[in-house]
Structure 1
């Protein structure tokens, strides 16, 4: 329950769920050895969670499928007032087009119903099937106008394809028109990328997620997506998947590459790479409750661009909430960090 003496609400903005039907579909794919088009990342990630019984895997799968009492009890136990909930990775994006469209529709209907039951505790993001960009754009509008969802979740690459390809830009057009943010959430690296990471056990959250998603966001920026859609808002977790720490070098090397004409497909942009990261992108602290990194991101991106997330249920650690309460920030700044930035960005 909310602690009115604290002076701010804690709104967690990268919190996952999965319909039971999707978990069943994943299990079936793995049991039949499909692993969707030979994707070793899907096999590594969901093969672990579906095939290894442990306290951790059972907790994660139980809580992913709960949009009621157990989730709210965990929120109360950690002092989380409100969750912005989205479909877990890899979501629909590992599926064939027809199944992906159907599962996105089902997930959005289930999440919207949970929000209606618990409007003070839950908000949700619209899941889409990027495999069908035109349908995805329509689902973004349905989620926004009919279901009351507050953004869009995309779990990074879709079977090795990235959103810098203009064939996907109907998704960005719809999100910009509705002023609804796109949350670019990690996926395991694509089959063309995963090899040396998987060989070392680094393909998942320890490193591969961040490498893959940071690269994806850079592809979006350098392809000119934000020049084409200047009001588009994107959100990335894990403190920006390390990109804030590369701002200087990204600007320097992008400019050098363009001037040299090294890549015919790399065209000049209207602004520096760092400008898009400061003006079109927000970062959350999901999985990264580390004060030095949080304060650095606030310094280089701006305090209004950094907001709280837990990464529930994958990283459910109550002491991390206390750690972020103890950031060297005033009560007013903590309110921006925990509450008002999320309210403004997601129109809560």
Structure 2
């Protein structure tokens, strides 16, 4: 059974140019933007047994300080992703980018992407301009996504105070893992998970440092009101395979993180999983989980 890669990135020249104009010449402290092409991505998929990749724009997202330009850029990358799916039937799906923290613009783009472009869900960064996803101003967006039982792919980005905490190291090295955990904890402790239970969340890198934080969240729950058990809510989320799982096998998904992870590293990761005695049947299980979550449209 071919793999379904739920954590796969693509880059358009227009997107990279817009990011660089906004000052993101070294994205999140990395030396440079990686190169991406549909054909090289397909070659990687064919060489490693990946049947379908669900594409998304990675950090730093599409909002670089101007709401209108973010709306235009989100529409551009989403239409390009949909076109890739049409050009390569059955090989590419996508999670739609939204111009957050512009909630009104995000609502318009979510409706267009899900209804017209047939996106598999939406991608949100762990924070948007320093706003975390439990911010009350986002409730209208959560209501819309909950009404649709939409899939939300939650991808880390640099924390707003990265200059003080990253110590000149690339933020994906350390800070991404903490910002993912910060965003998920915020969603739990502000009641987003409990108030909008139909939204299906995918958390990257198996939740970052959430396995370490999970036991600490419940004892502090009374400080944030009468909320359900945070640890049980964490088990109801979906996680990709890069890290130590916080959930059981029924909620694990495959994710490569290509193109920010080079093709050679993706191939090595898959080979290691294939050879691991504790990861028996991981291809079948993660693909079946992806079909359960995303629907028959992604079946292979």
Q: TM-score, normalised by structure 1?
A: 0.79
Structure 1 contact 93–155 (Cα < 8 Å) conserved: no
- Cα distance change, pair 49–175 in 1 and its aligned pair in 2 (3 A): farther
Within the alignment, does 1:341 sit opposite 2:298 as a pair?
A: no
Where does residue 202 of structure 2 map in the other structure?
235
Find the counterpart in structure 2 of residue 97 from structure 1: 67
For the Cα contact (< 8 Å) 1:126–1:151, is it kept in 2?
Answer: yes
Unaligned stretches of 5+ residues in structure 2: none
CA distance in 2, matches of 1:142, 1:276: 30
Query: Alignment length, in residue pairs?
Result: 292
* CA displacement at 1:21 relative to structure 2: 1.0
Q: For residues 81 and 201 of structure 2, what CA distance do their matches in structure 1 show?
A: 21
Residue number in structure 2 paired with 1:139: 109
Aligned positions of 1:297-308 closer than 5 A: 297=245, 301-308=247-254
Root-mean-square deviation (CA, aligned residues, Å) is 1.9
Residue equivalent to 1:198: 166
Q: Is there any run of 5+ residues in structure 1 with no aligned partner, and where?
A: 1-7, 31-41, 51-56
Does residue 210 of the first structure (1) align with residue 173 of the second (2)? no
What's the offset of the Cα at 1:16?
0.7
For normalisation by structure 2, the TM-score amounts to: 0.90
The 1:210/1:330 distance shift into structure 2, 3 A limit, reads closer
- Show the counterpart of 2:225: 267
- TM-fit CA distance, 1:103: 0.4
- Cα deviation for residue 213 of structure 1 reads 1.7
User: Deviation at 1:188?
Assistant: 1.0
> Superposition pairs for residues 286-325 of structure 1, below 5 Å?
286=242, 288=243, 293=244, 297=245, 301-316=247-262, 317=265, 318-325=267-274
Contact residue 156 and residue 213 of structure 1 kept, 8 A: yes
Q: How does 1:77-156 map to 2 (within 5 A)?
A: 77-156=47-126
Whether the aligned pair in 1 keeps the contact of 2:4 and 2:52 (CA below 8 Å) is yes
**Residue 81 of structure 1: CA displacement?**
1.6
